[in-house]
Structure 1
Amino acid sequence: MLTTFQYDIPAIIRGYSQGYFLMADDEGDNLGWYSSRQRTIVPLDSRFRYPKSLRRAINQNRFRVAVDQAFLEVVSGCADRETTWLSDELKEIYWELHQAGWAHSFETWQDNELAGGILGLTIGGAFIGESMFYRISEGSKVAMVKLVEHLRERRFVLFDAQMMNPHLERFGAQVLSEGEYKDLLKLALKRKSSFVDNSL
């Protein structure tokens, strides 16, 4: 479902709080609000899993994690593909949301090189994942595992991944009905969770 887009930060936060998300068409010409009868979430409990092949990369501490050290670079990395819904206008919106404290990047680094990252919005106890990318093998996968740990530590209720794909399925992602999702979202919005602190 597509609805008329209003471009101001309070309206954007209201839209996400009601279960909508922003997307542009493949040409980047039309930006609008979308919702879905099904919504994919990444579980924050014991249902979360990850491929055994990742354990070595994690145990070897090949990557360090950081929050918001390269926000614009993560946005650009997420948009750097043949077909993307992440238009130039949407990049500007994410930057404004970031400056206002709503949008964040969760990053993995190898030495001084950005290895991968996840772009998302935080509202209360909800992390709404928008996109992810990698430049170094396993960079985004390790980011996913470390992000779930990060959200658990900060008592987040919801990790919204929006739409299912094979990558998310390997991490135990689940598909909820629209009603189930909105019930979980309402619960998450009541939680006062902090995504950013000085521990990273």
Structure 2
Amino acid sequence: MYFLTKELYFPPVTETDFSGILAVGGDLSTERLLLAYNSGIFPWFEDGEPITWWAPDPRMVLLLDELNISKSMRNILNRNIFTVTFNSDFRAVISNCQSIKREGQNGTWITDDMIEAYCKLHELGHAQSVEVWQDDQLVGGLYGVDLGHIFCGESMFAKVSNASKVAFIKLVEYLKANNYLLLDCQVYNEHLESLGAFEVNRESFMKVLKSRKAV
């Protein structure tokens, strides 16, 4: 494990430990975050802990053609229960992702410093959000880092059933229409697996990231 200083640097992702941790320390500056994501690395830590940088192997991804939409979910989409927008309230989305109660979790990894760092990324065009509305109320959404050919999903939330799934599906439709190669889901998640995501080895993920070509 590497300990970062103020120097804008990350070690090769092959230097991660068995759990996928590459380094600790550094900061959440725009420059460091962009270097991290473009190097296959992302921050993940809880409030009060040092900044921890990950490059897990395997990596959870979704190939855009392999999105799995259930029959019941198609019915919900066809009924137009929700209204979906992009980038209309990034701060509200990330703040809801921070505060939403999640089963089996006592706290959140989205610290106040992370909110400010990702809002700055959004202002510069490097982070995007999807909002899901019902009766003019924000009931779901997601946000992530946009690399232009890969979208790195960070977190999602839902206040009513299926709202986060709608955000996810609409995001994938947008990415596919704009010729993105894949959606990076980072680490295994049963919910995302049900939508078609699966694990690949880190080497395969890095090839897509660096070559900007699907494998």
1:42 paired to 2:62: yes
**Deviation string for 1:17-56 (max 9, x for gaps)?**
010001123x3432222111111012201x2212222111
1:57 corresponding residue in structure 2: 76
Aligned partner letter, 1:54: M
> Does the CA contact (< 8 Å) of 2:63 and 2:181 recur in 1?
no
1:172 corresponding residue in structure 2: 196
2:4 corresponding residue in structure 1: none
Q: Which runs of 4+ in 1 moved over 6 A?
A: none
Residues 5-16 of structure 1 mapped to structure 2, 5 A cutoff: 5-16=26-37
> Does the CA contact (< 8 Å) of 2:144 and 2:152 recur in 1?
yes
Alignment length (residue pairs): 188
1:113 Cα deviation from its structure 2 partner: 0.8
Q: Following the alignment from structure 2 to structure 1, what is the Cα–Cα distance between the partners of residues 59 and 35?
A: 18
1:178 Cα deviation from its structure 2 partner: 0.7
Percent of aligned pairs sharing the same letter: 36
> TM-score of the superposition, structure 2-length normalised?
0.82
1:147 Cα deviation from its structure 2 partner: 0.9
2:13 corresponding residue in structure 1: none
1:83 Cα deviation from its structure 2 partner: 2.1
Aligned partner letter, 2:80: N
Q: Following the alignment from structure 2 to structure 1, what is the Cα–Cα distance between the partners of residues 117 and 61?
A: 23
Out of 136, 140, 145, which is 2:169 matched to? 145
1:18 paired to 2:45: no
> TM-score of the superposition, structure 1-length normalised?
0.88
* CA-atom RMSD in angstroms: 1.6
1:93 corresponding residue in structure 2: 117
1:184 corresponding residue in structure 2: 208
**Deviation string for 1:138-161 (max 9, x for gaps)?**
110111111110101111112101
1:121 paired to 2:142: no
1:108 Cα deviation from its structure 2 partner: 1.2
